[in-house]
A and B are shown apart, each in its own frame.
Chain A
Amino acid sequence: EAGVAQSPRYKIIEKRQSVAFWCNPISGHATLYWYQQILGQGPKLLIQFQNNGVVDDSQLPKDRFSAERLKGVDSTLKIQPAKLEDSAVYLCASSLVKGRVIQETQYFGPGTRLLVL
């Protein structure tokens, strides 16, 4: 089966610019996650969707970050305006859901590496 797709793979922008990342989860996976991974740290969950609804966005900096998952499939994560500290890898993951139970495996995409200058 095809894995989680993300684009672009790399992005360089200047501070105060805006940027958007795209994720296409594995077909049939209802749950989608966006993580931020700063160099040397583990991934930090930014937002979790189930279908097109938000389950958890408690760690999303809502003044500058936004995410949507229209039609419950693809998702976009946007940063506007970007700050230097947003330099990180942005990972998308998806998992299967049966009822309220998430199956154990999260499948991760390759990530988008963002550098803010």
Chain B
Amino acid sequence: DAKTTQPPSMDCAEGRAANLPCNHSTISGNEYVYWYRQIHSQGPQYIIHGLKNNETNEMASLIITEDRKSSTLILPHATLRDTAVYYCIVRGLYNFNKFYFGSGTKLNVKP
């Protein structure tokens, strides 16, 4: 059901940028790319979303390729508190569009 492919795990040194890739080769024109993360024993937390332009907020940056078949979430200065499972999701904005979580990427930020 999930429309995205992510690596199961990644490591990142504290203070360095974490770049998390996501493949969504079957994305349709009206579907957005969303990123959520889930810290251990908590509910998922929204990070960022975008359609085709790159987006930035206080948490992260989202880079979407021109063909929209893949994207990268960038945490510019990873901290130990960024250790979590990161989910890349594609969906439309209407209330009948389903929201599928895949298995995500476990990001391990190391001191």
Contacts and interface: CB of A to CB of B under 8 A. Distances in A.
B94 A91 contact: no
A60 B44 CA distance: 20
A110 B32 CA distance: 25
Interface in A89-117: 91, 93, 97, 100-102, 104-111
Nearest to B104: A42
B68 interface: no
A55 B95 CA distance: 8
A45 B98 contact: yes
Given A42-B103, A44-B101, A102 B93 contact: yes
A55 B96 CA distance: 7
A104 B49 contact: yes
A43 B44 contact: yes
Contact of B43 (A44, A91, A100): A91
B2 A42 contact: yes
Nearest to B45: A108
Contacts, number: 59
B43 A50 contact: no
Interface string B17-34: 000000000000000101
A60 B42 CA distance: 23
Residue from the set B36, B44, B85, B97 with the largest chain A CB neighbour count within 10 Å: B44
A33 interface: yes
A45 B99 CA distance: 7
Contacts of B2: 42
Contacts of A111: 42-43
B60 to A, nearest CB: 14
Given A41-B103, A100-B94, 9 more contacts: A42-B102, A45-B100, A48-B95, A56-B96, A102-B93, A102-B94, A104-B46, A104-B93, A110-B42
